[in-house]
Structure 1
Amino acid sequence: MNTLFRLKGLYAITDSQLAANSNLIDQVAQALAGGANIIQYRDKSGDPAKRLEEAQALLRLCREHAVPLIINDDVELAAQIGADGVHLGRGDPDLDAARSRLGREAIIGVSCYNQFERALSAQQAEADYIAFGRFFPSSVKPEAVQADIDLLHRARDELELPTVAIGGITPENGGALIKAGADMLAVIHGVFGQADVKAACERFTELFKQKEVSPT
């Protein structure tokens, strides 16, 4: 993994539908200004030319802010633009194939849903982070499996990888996930579905600042 990046804090994930009536690049610029530490490009439109153009523009923007750009699902797109990494879910290429294509420096994350055994396998395969969720009802993936917060406690105690929590996360409920062991909060609608993206990100980043100053 590229050790220049610290995998901690707000992990903002784009959504093509939420950007339909505004400019995706402007949205991400606002998220970065609000303190997002990781950006994931997630686009399910099936338009290769659009995806390539947006991903390249986002990579340039993320480089300006020294923030990693992760590509959702698409190993080839990540390789084509030289993105910092890829996030893999069920049905995507396996981690070994992604590592072979992207190299040792790539950041590779794996969705583990509500399955701790999948997280153990990801650690053994040398993933760079794992993600559990959904923890709360999600407007983006309402059908996603429910994950128990005990997974975060267990990951903190038994794993050596940074852990992402995802699914219906808001500034009101995210603090409990950080306290339980989440290193990153992955947010879609709670960031890009808000009228003021920068202010929304600032509310999330404040949760991590509170964790840093709270007594242990």
Structure 2
Amino acid sequence: MAGVIAGLYVITDSAQQAVADAIRGGAQVVQYRDKSADTVRRKEAADALARLCRGAGVCFIVNDDVALAAAVGADGVHLGQDDSSVAAARAQLGSRAIVGVSCYNSLERAADAVAAGADYAGADYVAFGSVYPSPTKPQAVRAPLSLFAEARALTDRPLVAIGGINATNAAAVRAAGADAVAVIDGVFGADNVEAAAAAIAKQFND
């Protein structure tokens, strides 16, 4: 199972060729995020992406949908504030599954997410954002880069930054303490997806 949450973490709604290009450019984590109600299409897309990532040795995460993650054999799931609890996700996916949690700009939520319960380990990684204005979620709460140093004082789990990240600002995000950057438009909105991915991934290669 691929399981390292680091470097370039791309988020997609299913474009397989673009994801393959991003992986060639250096993406280490792929998250499938599709909020549509078309369960058949979502299952087919998730299956295809799971196979692609498995073949490339890249970590595959499903957003929100624990049942879908289990059905396609994903490496794990990413949970938002209205989704399942970490404990419930682990109960369904097993102890080896990767569970990530969106913490927006809340250190309290991050501390709660990584705390171990009686019967489960805490979240494997926590995500903060939007660190920059995001074309995908323009109304998203903003999370200052200073939050990453504060979060590091709370946990040694990987810290993921999301929101408006591209090749021009990824280095600043890494310098602030992020272990990975979650990117949508900065990679998939580029004319050359592989080159855009490589430009961001190289910021984490030294």
TM-score normalised to structure 2 length: 0.95
Distance 2:52 2:41 in 1: 17
Distance 2:153 2:81 in 1: 25
Say whether the 8 Å CA contact 2:111–2:154 is kept in structure 1.
Answer: no
Distance 1:158 1:123 in 2: 9
The answer for the alignment partner of 1:5 in structure 2 is 3
Alpha-carbon distance, 1:5 to partner: 2.4
Distance 1:32 1:119 in 2: 28
The answer for the alignment partner of 2:170 in structure 1 is 174
CA RMSD of aligned residues (A): 1.1
Distance 1:73 1:189 in 2: 20
Say whether the 8 Å CA contact 1:13–1:42 is kept in structure 2.
Answer: yes
Q: Map Cα deviations across residues 67-96 of structure 1 (whole Å, 9 max, x no partner).
A: 111000000100111111000001001111
Partner SS for 1:177: helix
Q: Map Cα deviations across residues 105-143 of structure 1 (whole Å, 9 max, x no partner).
A: 100000000000000001104100000000111011111
The equivalences for 1:62-211 within 5 A come to 62-125=53-116, 126-209=122-205
Partner SS for 1:30: helix
Say whether the 8 Å CA contact 2:63–2:77 is kept in structure 1.
Answer: yes
| Consecutive unaligned residues in structure 1, runs of 5 or more | 17-23
Say whether the 8 Å CA contact 1:132–1:147 is kept in structure 2.
Answer: yes
Partner SS for 2:153: helix
| Consecutive unaligned residues in structure 2, runs of 5 or more | 117-121
Overall identity of the aligned pairs, in %: 52
Distance 1:138 1:76 in 2: 29
- 1:15 pairs with 2:6: no
- 1:27 pairs with 2:25: no
Alpha-carbon distance, 1:6 to partner: 1.9
Which amino acid in the other structure matches residue 171 of structure 1?
A
Distance 1:79 1:207 in 2: 32
Alpha-carbon distance, 1:54 to partner: 0.5
Partner SS for 1:185: strand
- 1:61 pairs with 2:52: yes
Partner SS for 1:130: strand
